[in-house]
Amino acid sequence: MCKIKTCKRPGFLKGGIGAHMNPRKVNQRILAIGTKIEMEHTNNKCAAMWIAIDHIREHGPAYYPALIKMEKRLSSRRKRK
């Protein structure tokens, strides 16, 4: 199981549906995937982790695997054209 270092929610991330979640209670493999994906939008790994927690809390643990699958499908369509 992937363990990512947890950190406090940055002050600039106000609210959020996962703001009161314990990061250790989230599936660590999915959280690591989500954090990596959210790093596309920020260079702050702590912020990326909390954004991922928000998305996992809002959409469920299948969110990031479904996102990866969708991006692969779209990428393969672009290559065929």
- Per-residue pLDDT tens digits for 12-42: 888 888 888 899 999 999 999 999 999 999 9
Asked if residue 61 belongs to a domain, the reply is: yes
Q: Is 3 a domain residue?
A: no
Q: Residue 44 falls within a domain, yes or no?
A: yes
In a domain, 39, yes or no: yes
Contacts of 19 (CB under 8 A, 6+ apart): 9, 13, 50, 54
Residues with Cβ within 8 Å of residue 13, at least 6 apart in sequence: 19, 47, 50, 51
Q: Is residue 69 part of a domain?
A: yes
Whether the full predicted model's pTM is greater than 0.95, yes or no, is no
> Is 18 among the domain residues?
no
Grouping H, G, I as helix, E, B as strand and the rest as coil, residue 48 is helix
Residue 10 lies in a domain: no
Give residue 33's identity as a one-letter amino acid code. I
Domain tally for the chain?
A: 1
